[in-house]
Structure 1
Amino acid sequence: MDNPLKIFILYARFGDGHWQAASALRQSFAKLGRVEVKLVDLLGESHPLLNEVSRFVYRKSYTVLPQAYGWVYQRTRTMKPDSLLASWLHSFGVPALQKMVEDERPDAIVHTFPTLACSQVMHKLRCKIPMFNVITDFDLHLRWVHPDTDKYYVATDDMLRQLCELGVDPRRVAATGIPIRPEFQTSAAAVTGALAGKPTVLVMAGAGMAPARAAGLCRSLARRCDARVVVVCGRNRALRQALEEQLGDDPRMTILGYVERIQEWMAVSSCIVTKPGGLTLSEAIASGLPIFLYRPVPGQEYNNARYLENKGAAVICGSIGQLTNAIAERLEKPRLREQMLQAIYSLRKPDAADTVALDIARQLNIMEVVPDIDNGKFRHRDDSSRVPAGPEMQRRAICEQVIP
């Protein structure tokens, strides 16, 4: 059988996190060999106008009525998969996905965003497509949960237990961590070495932070913590320009736009100030960085923040003064910093993307592969390893009857 394994990864552009997780998985599937991966922004392709409006509203939720977004998130957090609301949310993109399935016949569909249109497509086509959900937050919203899901990949052991308490078979859940790029597997020694000179505070200020507040935060950090401050403005050009005008003459400040290789800055930083998106938090944990969260917005990000704070891996701060004092305290008191680092290390799930990709390949029973320790990739056991098993052949036969 020479046909490659074909996998769709469905994501959304509400922030970069879902796309980054999908991209990390694509890299890991590529290591397996003979795997064809297609990344699909399902809402963007099927409803471009609705997608742009939704993204605009989501971005504005950081500064305009964040409480309203948080209220909606919490009210829908426990919705049932068979509810009218869940069915409606999962209906977006069904015709577009159905056409893709008919045209390309994927062997599996992976979600890094909880628009689970796959289930309705399977119902319409009367065929089984293996369906995997990679949850990209530290908080469980039941929009991710559906009885047609073959397996869930989650950030923590606590979330694994939550799903099992909801009645999900433990064999259908794996606490792998959130998939991030392999460049973030930084050693603790490299991070500790950053403290040898003047400490560096990495501030991720791209979303939801007004220029005046960001400038005040940077000045306060430099003064109170005697630190070098690296500010990442992301794609917010207006913020970068404003900070360059206000702080550009200060040698303690480094002001950046979008940074492709952010792991290099994380590796030389002493701590990070960020909004609590699941991917950024996972990258900080992998890099061994104490995490400080400034005024997280209600919703999944606030719940992420609360989870990490309860674990001792992050500190939530409601004011610039509180934030700078909290950072200074961890920099000045090695015992407090060490406690925080121990909590961070306890949450680490190394090589999450590779683990998820390998497990999905095994779930599909398509190929048998083993880690190649020497080059950090995967290799096939032998040329006969990629033999479709009975269930896969049956699934293809069923689909052939329905999809001419």
Structure 2
Amino acid sequence: MIYAGSVHRPRLLILYAAYGDGHLQAARAILDALESCGGEGVLVDLLAESHPILYQMTKRFYMHSYKYMPHVYGWVYNRTRPMKHNSLFGGWLHSFGRDTIRRIVALERPDAVIHTFPTFALPSLQHTGRPVLTGAVVTDFDLHCRWVHPRIDRYYVATPDMRKELISLGISESRIVVSGIPLKRGFRNVVPDPRIRARHGLDPVRPLVLIMAGAYGMLEGVPQMLEGLLAHPDTAVALVCGRNEALADSVRTRFAGACAEGRLRVFGYVDHVHELMSVSSCVVTKPGGITLAEALAAGIPICTLRPVPGQERNNALYLESKGAAFVARNKDQLIAEILKLVHDPVRLKNRKKAVAELQTKNAAETIVLDILSRLPIIKGARFGL
């Protein structure tokens, strides 16, 4: 379905929020797939546009509570998980950005609006008249009811289990697509290639453990993990520190010998995660939805250490229940599991089989094609606010 030669190019408004990188990455993946189909799109951080001061305050609170008060964050997440869209709290959350989205829709005149973050100011404005087609892309393996709104036309979810959960909450099955989580172009076809190791200065022979410290390098206990793994001379490690330059510098200094031997390679923020994953035996990571989906797309098992309460812990426990992940209670348990996994071919094969059963291909393209296939129903009408 290519629209490049059409008189009217399909136009999508894609709304996200930059609490972490995941929602923005999903939005960019959808935009890339849309442009490949001849459409055009606009990315908007609705909260940043509508309430910049409040946005900065809540973003700072999110980062600090996540790092220093994880149990507070987890309590709030779990306490609000079953909330209704029309509850006092739910209605208040969805009220942010109403005036801004009204102006943006009038200016951009999109054919559809896609949300990769559950701020549903537009659906809360829609009347019984002709609305813009709306979609919600759930970017986790756990469903918080903030994502559930009766005026969302299409739900795009990671798993059949989430589809069942939405149905149990009253969402029609016909409105739900098990698309997977949209990922950047490099994950469309992840193929291991020995040349990748040489290109990135990785050990050419030893089993490779990939440690992802997160976009802001907040993964707990990275030096201790490295000590335990590098104590075994038959193991190599690639560490991605994200934007945490201090972590990268301290690791290079502390483990200079392993770096010189080629058993440890330290990266900052990278755009070639798909290549690193393709040549790794497993990944150690914070269990954010995007990173987990990337690991599944790459076909590698996942290990995580004491995930933060909230969606990340629930993500990890879900994948562990499917055999695709291991959730460690402490660093010693984590290191022991990693070493058993990467040096036991049968164990590794079984874990990869569980990973493969959860894979979804081309999520961004699935989402875009589903949205575009529904645009003729609109018949050129627009949303009059």
TM more than 0.5: yes
State which drifts further: 130-139 or 77-86: 77-86
- Cα distance, 1:3 vs structure 2: 2.8
Please name the residue that 1:11 is paired with. 16
Residues 191 and 278 in structure 2, CA contact (< 8 A), matched pair in contact too: no
- Distance in structure 2 (CA, Å) of the matches to 1:324 and 1:200: 13
Structure 1 unmatched ranges of 5 or more: 366-388
Task: Give the distance between the partners of 2:233 and 2:53, measured in 1 at CA.
Answer: 46
Instruction: Provide closer, same or farther for how the CA distance between residues 248 and 48 of structure 1 changes in structure 2, counting only shifts above 3 A.
Output: farther
Inter-partner Cα distance in structure 2 for 1:316 and 1:225: 25
Alignment partners' CA distance in 2, 1:342 and 1:111: 32
1:306-329 deviation digits (Å, cap 9, x = unpaired): 000000000001221111100111
Deviation of 1:52 after TM superposition, in Å, equals 1.5
Aligned residue in 1 for 2:235: 227
Give yes or no for contact 1:275–1:293 (8 Å, CA) kept in 2. yes
Aligned counterpart for 1:315 among listed residues 322, 326, 351: 326
Choose which of 222, 239, 243 in structure 2 pairs with 1:214.
222
After superposition, what is the alpha-carbon deviation per residue over 1:193-238, rounded to whole angstroms, capped at 9, x for unaligned? 989820111101143235xx31121121122473111111101122
In 2, are the aligned partners of 1:331 and 1:337 still within 8 Å (CA)? yes
Partner of 2:168: 165
What SS does the corresponding residue of 2:231 show, helix, strand or coil?
helix
Pick from 244, 256, 259: which aligns with 1:248? 256
Closer, same or farther: CA 339–225 of 1 in aligned 2, 3 Å: farther
Contact conserved, 2:124 with 2:151, CA < 8 A, in 1?
no
TM-fit CA distance, 1:161: 0.9
State the AA in 2 paired with 1:129: V
Cα distance in 2 between the residues matched to 1:363 and 1:225: 56
How far apart, CA to CA, are the structure 2 residues paired with 1:118 and 1:268? 43
Deviations 1:245-264 (A, max 9, x none): 21233232111110111111
How far the C-alpha of 1:120 sits from its partner, in A, is: 2.9
Does 1:154 find its partner at 2:154?
Answer: no
Partner of 1:392: 379
For normalisation by structure 1, the TM-score amounts to 0.87
CA distance in 2, matches of 1:285, 1:180: 11
Match of 1:72 in 2: 76
Secondary structure, counterpart of 1:63 in structure 2: helix
Which of 234-243 and 171-180 deviates more?
234-243
For 1:245, the aligned partner's letter is T
User: 1:297 Cα shift?
Assistant: 0.2
1:51 aligns with 2:62: no
Greater shift in the superposed pair: 304-313 or 164-173:
164-173
Cα distance in 2 for residues equivalent to 1:330 and 1:55: 37
What is the percentage of aligned positions where both structures have the same residue?
Answer: 43
Equivalent pair of 2:126/2:151 in contact (CA under 8 Å) = no
Structural mapping, 1:75-154, within 5 Å: 75-123=79-127, 127-154=130-157
TM-score, normalised via structure 2 length: 0.91
| Residue number in structure 2 paired with 1:300 | 311
The root-mean-square deviation of aligned C-alpha atoms, in Å, is: 2.0
**CA deviation digits over 1:320-342, x for unaligned, max 9?**
11111001111222222111111
Q: 1:314 to 1:357 in 2, by over 3 A?
A: same
For 1:39, the equivalent position in structure 2 comes to: 43
Deviation at 1:179, TM superposition (A): 0.4
Unaligned runs of 5+ in 2: 1-5, 198-202
Instruction: Give the secondary structure class of the aligned counterpart of 2:299.
Output: coil
**Number of residue-to-residue matches in the alignment:** 369
- Tell me the alpha carbon deviations over residues 247-300 of structure 1, each in whole angstroms, 9 at most, x when there is no partner: 233232111110111111111111100000110001000101110011210000
Residue 275 of structure 1: aligned partner:
286
SS in 1 for 2:126: helix
SS at match of 1:361: helix
Alpha-carbon distance in structure 1 between the residues aligned to 2:59 and 2:247: 19
Q: Secondary structure at the match of 1:62?
A: helix
Secondary structure at 2:67 match in 1: coil
Q: Which of 182, 185, 194 is the matching residue for 2:185?
A: 182
Alignment deviations for residues 133-173 of structure 1 (CA, whole Å, 9 cap, x no partner): 01000001110010001010000011011111112111100
SS in 1 for 2:68: coil
Decide whether the 8 Å contact of 1:224 with 1:324 is kept in 2: no
Of 330, 343, 365, the match for 1:354: 365
User: Secondary structure, in 3 states, of the residue corresponding to 2:327?
Assistant: strand
In the TM superposition, residue 189 of structure 1 has moved relative to its aligned partner by 6.1
Residues in 2 aligned to 1:312 and 1:214: alpha-carbon distance in whole angstroms: 24
2:35 is matched with 30
Letter in 1 for 2:379: E
1-side partners of 2:252 and 2:233: how far apart?
21
8 Å CA contact 1:97, 1:121 repeated in 2: no
Shift of 1:186: 4.1
State which drifts further: 45-54 or 297-306: 45-54
